[in-house]
């Protein structure tokens, strides 16, 4: 029998990220192609019960490292737990999410196992029983297909691109894995978690994004697109110009040196479409652009473009969408 596929299913405070389900389902698809099992690993505190949920997304086995020491994420403790699971399972493939936690954890695990990580993959293929991964580089301006020379083949998956598929009638028992760490082994300590105001969804997880650029002219003008975002249930993003001007915090920035996003709908307001911005959002399913300059490069990628003053168009759009939604 071929070696298994191990999936690290990320949770915070007992709640799984949707990307974890996507990872488990993709792990199952790989396992089926290789002819082996998908084994989900959960690391946390009091998570043995909620871990059962992963069976729904295709996990054949579920392993839980459930301990006080894993109550909050720590690079070292979690990396040791994953390495411990790798030693027990000896998987061919190890899958994590390309989230904040996954992108911190994967290289820590990789270094302990002396293998590199294929980060932020957008597609996995099994060819002759071996893994190949497709990943964007240069902020998505091009992609590379990579093959792995050493096991485990470690990958992180970009959220929102892989399907989380529910399987029927799955009842998987949760197996325990001993924590392989003591508190004195940890050098970095989490003091507190500061939630962002409104605790909104992260841009990388949003279905709808309304972004503003240089055309917004001032920080206070962002209320126009905040209103639109609220009407459609979206999240506000910004171009680098808007962030560099100090109108929005950096974590709102979309594009190279910011976030790469793939929402269902991306509405760009007053964004000219610099190459760095296009790299970060052109994998959106539908792009709408509103800009005064008919020659702005953003119109080359926009499925629907409106030439006009955003301060006239956006409020009208918000108002009309509100009416349409309430109908």
**Using rule CB under 8 A, residue 128 touches another protein:** no
Is 104 within 8 Å of 74 (Cβ atoms)?
A: no
Nearer CB in complex with another protein: 132/165:
132
Within positions 156 to 175, which residues make up the interface with another protein, using CB under 8 A? none
**Using rule CB under 8 A, residue 256 touches another protein:** yes
Nearer CB in complex with another protein: 175/180:
180
Please identify which residue in 33, 45, 116, 165 interacts with another protein, judged by CB under 8 A: 116
Phi, psi angle pair for 213, to nearest 5°? -125, -155
User: What is the contact mask toward another protein in residues 13 to 42, using x (rule: CB under 8 A)?
Assistant: ------------------------------
Please identify which residue in 2, 90, 167, 325 interacts with another protein, judged by CB under 8 A: 325
The total of other beta-carbon atoms located within 10 Å of residue 116's CB is: 16
Q: Which neighbouring-strand residues pair with 126?
A: 131
User: Total residues at the site for another protein (CB under 8 A)?
Assistant: 93
Q: How far is the CB of 46 from another protein (least distance, A)?
A: 20
- Distance (Å, whole) CA 220 – CA 46: 44
Sign of CA dihedral 65, 71, 73, 77: negative
Within positions 202 to 231, which residues make up the interface with another protein, using CB under 8 A? 202, 204-205, 208
**Using rule CB under 8 A, residue 312 touches another protein:** yes
Q: By C-alpha distance, which of 238, 263, 261, 235 is closest to 249?
A: 238
**Using rule CB under 8 A, residue 84 touches another protein:** no
Q: By C-alpha distance, which of 212, 229, 206, 175 is closest to 311?
A: 212
Residues in the chain: 327
């Amino acid at each position: 029998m071929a070696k298994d596929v191990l999936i690290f299913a990320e949770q915070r405070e007992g709640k799984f990220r949707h990307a974890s389900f996507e990872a488990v389902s993709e792990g199952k698809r790989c396992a089926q192609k290789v002819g082996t099992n998908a084994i989900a690993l959960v690391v946390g505190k009091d998570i043995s019960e909620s871990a059962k949920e992963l069976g729904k997304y295709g996990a054949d086995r579920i392993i839980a490292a459930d301990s006080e020491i894993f109550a909050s994420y720590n690079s070292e403790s979690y990396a040791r737990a994953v390495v411990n699971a790798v030693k027990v399972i000896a998987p061919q493939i190890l899958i994590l999410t390309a989230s904040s936690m996954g992108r911190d954890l994967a290289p820590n695990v990789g270094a302990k196992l002396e293998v590199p990580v294929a980060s932020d993959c957008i597609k996995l293929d099994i060819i002759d029983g071996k893994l190949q991964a497709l990943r964007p580089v240069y902020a998505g301006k091009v992609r590379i297909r990579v093959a792995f020379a050493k096991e485990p083949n470690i990958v992180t998956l970009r959220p929102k691109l892989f399907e989380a598929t529910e399987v029927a009638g799955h009842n998987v028992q949760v197996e325990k894995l001993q924590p392989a760490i003591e508190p004195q082994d940890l050098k970095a300590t989490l003091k507190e978690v500061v939630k962002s105001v409104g605790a909104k969804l992260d841009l990388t997880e949003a279905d709808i994004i309304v972004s503003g650029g240089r055309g917004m002219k001032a920080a206070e003008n962002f209320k126009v697109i905040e209103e639109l975002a609220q009407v459609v249930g979206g999240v506000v993003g910004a171009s680098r110009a808007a962030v560099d001007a100090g109108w929005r915090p950096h974590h709102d920035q979309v594009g190279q040196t910011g976030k790469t996003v793939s929402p269902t709908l991306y509405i760009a307001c007053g964004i000219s479409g610099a190459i760095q911005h296009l790299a970060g959002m052109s994998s959106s399913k539908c792009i709408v652009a509103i800009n005064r300059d008919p020659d702005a490069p953003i119109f080359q990628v926009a499925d629907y473009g409106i030439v006009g003053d955003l301060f006239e168009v956006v409020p009208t759009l918000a108002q009309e969408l509100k009416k349409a939604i309430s109908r």
